[in-house]
């Protein structure tokens, strides 16, 4: 059985991963066996109705058929006790699917990660494949729940260990030893990622909101995140921890567009184009530049907090060929349709040519113009060159072709960091289809 659910939290409280942890405890108590790590699936980060990271959850279990009703009852009980129903915009949904995941639901999941899907399409698939769904309020969480079931992580994936706070400490400053995070980051190397922002020294594993998460450690394997967790020193008790298998840090959201005319609002896309004009620095330090191909033009934005990506964007010149990665902001009264950059690849750099006044053929000094079309005059020796023209020089540019990514502090959950290039996975994980002991993914005993 696959149990997908979404949208139990709100900006003011809660976390759907914590709801998953509580459901896992309930299911364990009634004899469920897990055949995968709990799946944390990040959906399209550009949809306007997301809460924070737009994450949906799926639990994949073996259960005796006569306990199916007990499973549903347990899930509903946890959701109803923990969802923030009083917040407008919290619309939980739960989906149950028995048997293998159909290819059509896998396709639906990919579209939910890379584009926009509709409730009617989710309900059609639920009916077609005899799944069951329950929605609360407007029930939009049904979409995420079905998408989490459909994303079986057959391509690249990572792991995240999330440690949760005791209820009495929630809403207060998190108390972990920053030096232990630095120590962990050094010890684990590329086995974990996005622990610290190198430019600012900011600790990234701790969220800032009122949710129940103390910290989350992302890495390449369950063993890596668990070893990293054991290095962290916390000055407050940890209520529980869970290891999730996830699409974090995989670029799963990005879809290559064949042309600029295919760039649509809310899409996370990759598209090539040639820079036209000169980049503009607007209020707040953000850099805007325009690219084109044979089908049209589109604006691109590198925000002030995007570090080296912003610096690179500011030094682009007309004729540079770039490949841009990011989410598409729809047009408004003040702004055109814009790609908010997560990454940029410089494919080809245009020659930078500057024009200089000629040197005096008599004394070698730099000459000065005496007016448009009137030539140049040497102010040292008085030589006049009516037919002399400016001389073109090619200037060495500081940029090099290659991939440039926003710093970790500005990366989205799905953005693949530089440290993960070359570590991508493919195929099913080691335990696919096998029962996984609780001790491998949680501290439940």
Q: For 7-21, how does the pLDDT look when each residue is reduced to its tens digit (9 = 90+)?
A: 988 777 788 999 999
C-alpha–C-alpha distance, residues 185 and 163, integer Å: 17
What range defines the domain where residue 384 resides?
A: 352-395
Lowest mean pLDDT among 137-141, 415-419, 434-438: 434-438
Whether residues 203 and 322 share a domain: the answer is no
Handedness of CA 146, 150, 156, 160 (dihedral sign): positive
Average pLDDT over residues 193-200: 94
Number of neighbouring beta carbons within 10 Å of residue 430: 8
C-alpha–C-alpha distance, residues 407 and 197, integer Å: 7
412 found inside a domain: no
- CATH code at 129? 3.30.70.2200
How far is CA 331 from each of CA 74, 157, 254, 260, 343, rounded to the nearest angstrom? 45, 33, 20, 15, 21
Whether residues 29 and 138 share a domain: the answer is yes
Q: At what angle do helices 119-128 and 141-150 cross, to 10 degrees?
A: 50
Confidence at 439, pLDDT banded by 50, 70, 90: confident
Does the structure show a pLDDT above 80 at 147? Answer: yes
Whether residues 361 and 337 share a domain: the answer is no
| Interacting residues of 65 by C-beta distance below 8 A, sequence separation 6+ | none
Lowest mean pLDDT among 60-74, 83-97, 257-271, 333-347: 83-97
C-alpha–C-alpha distance, residues 157 and 426, integer Å: 8
Backbone angles phi, psi at 125, to 5 degrees: -70, -40
Number of domains in the chain: 4
Among 184, 213, 246, identify where a domain stops. Answer: 246
Whether residues 303 and 436 share a domain: the answer is no
* Its pTM surpasses 0.85: yes
Whether residues 63 and 90 share a domain: the answer is yes
- Over residues 238-250, the pLDDT tens digits come to 999 999 999 999 9
- Over residues 306-318, the pLDDT tens digits come to 999 999 999 999 9
Whether residues 122 and 98 share a domain: the answer is yes
Ranked by mean pLDDT, which of 12-16, 89-93, 289-293, 362-366 comes out on top?
289-293
Whether residues 311 and 220 share a domain: the answer is no
414 found inside a domain: no
Whether residues 147 and 46 share a domain: the answer is yes
420 found inside a domain: no
48 found inside a domain: yes
Residue with tokens 């129940």: 212
C-alpha–C-alpha distance, residues 66 and 59, integer Å: 19
Strands (E), 321-406: 321-329, 338-348, 352-356, 368-369, 376-377, 384-385, 391-395, 402-405
Whether residues 223 and 261 share a domain: the answer is no
416 found inside a domain: no
Whether residues 192 and 286 share a domain: the answer is no
- CATH code at 263? 2.40.50.1010
Average pLDDT over residues 289-293: 97
Is the distance from CB of 153 to CB of 39 less than 8 angstroms? Answer: yes
- CATH code at 236? 3.90.600.20
Among 246, 276, 299, identify where a domain stops. Answer: 246
176 found inside a domain: yes
186 found inside a domain: yes
103 found inside a domain: yes
Whether residues 37 and 141 share a domain: the answer is yes
| pLDDT reported for residue 50 | 63
Whether residues 192 and 64 share a domain: the answer is no
């Amino acid at each position: 059985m696959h149990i997908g659910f979404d949208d139990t939290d709100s900006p003011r409280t809660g976390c759907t991963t914590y709801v998953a942890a509580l459901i896992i405890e309930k299911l364990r108590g009634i004899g469920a066996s897990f055949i995968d790590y709990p799946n944390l699936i990040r959906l399209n980060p550009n949809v306007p109705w997301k809460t924070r990271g737009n994450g949906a959850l799926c639990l994949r279990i073996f259960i005796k058929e006569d306990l199916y009703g007990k499973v549903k009852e347990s899930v509903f009980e946890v959701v109803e006790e923990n969802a923030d129903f009083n917040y407008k915009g919290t619309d939980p949904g739960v989906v149950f699917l028995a048997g293998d995941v159909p290819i059509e639901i896998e396709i639906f999941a990919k579209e939910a990660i890379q584009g926009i899907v509709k409730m009617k399409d989710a309900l059609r698939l639920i009916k077609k494949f005899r799944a069951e769904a329950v929605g609360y309020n407007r029930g939009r969480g049904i979409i995420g729940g079905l998408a989490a079931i459909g994303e079986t992580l057959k391509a690249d994936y990572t792991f995240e260990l999330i440690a949760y706070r005791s209820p009495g400490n929630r809403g207060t400053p998190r108390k972990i030893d920053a030096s232990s995070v630095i120590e962990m980051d050094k010890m684990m190397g590329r086995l974990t990622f996005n622990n610290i922002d190198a430019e600012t020294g900011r600790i990234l594993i701790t969220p800032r909101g009122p949710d129940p998460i103390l910290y989350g450690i992302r890495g390449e394997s369950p063993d890596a995140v668990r070893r990293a967790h054991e290095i962290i020193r916390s000055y407050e008790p940890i209520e529980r921890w869970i290891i999730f298998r996830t699409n974090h840090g995989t670029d799963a959201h990005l879809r290559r567009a064949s042309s600029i005319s295919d760039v649509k609002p809310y899409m996370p896309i990759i598209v090539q184009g040639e820079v036209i004009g000169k980049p503009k620095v607007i209020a707040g330090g953000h850099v805007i530049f325009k690219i084109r191909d044979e089908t049209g033009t589109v604006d691109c934005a590198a925000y002030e907090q995007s570090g080296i990506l912003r610096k690179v964007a500011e030094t682009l010149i007309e004729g540079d060929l770039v490949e841009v990665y990011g989410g598409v902001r729809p047009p408004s009264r003040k702004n055109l349709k814009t790609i908010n950059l997560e990454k940029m690849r410089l494919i080809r750099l245009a020659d930078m040519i500057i024009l200089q006044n000629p040197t005096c053929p008599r004394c070698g000094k730099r000459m000065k113009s005496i007016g448009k079309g009137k030539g140049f005059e040497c102010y040292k020796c008085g030589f006049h060159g009516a037919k002399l023209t400016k001389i073109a020089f090619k200037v060495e540019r500081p940029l090099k072709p290659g991939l440039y990514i926003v710093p970790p502090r500005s990366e989205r959950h799905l953005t693949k960091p530089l440290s993960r290039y070359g570590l991508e996975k493919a195929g099913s994980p080691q335990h696919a289809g096998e029962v996984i002991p609780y001790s491998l993914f949680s501290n439940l005993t």
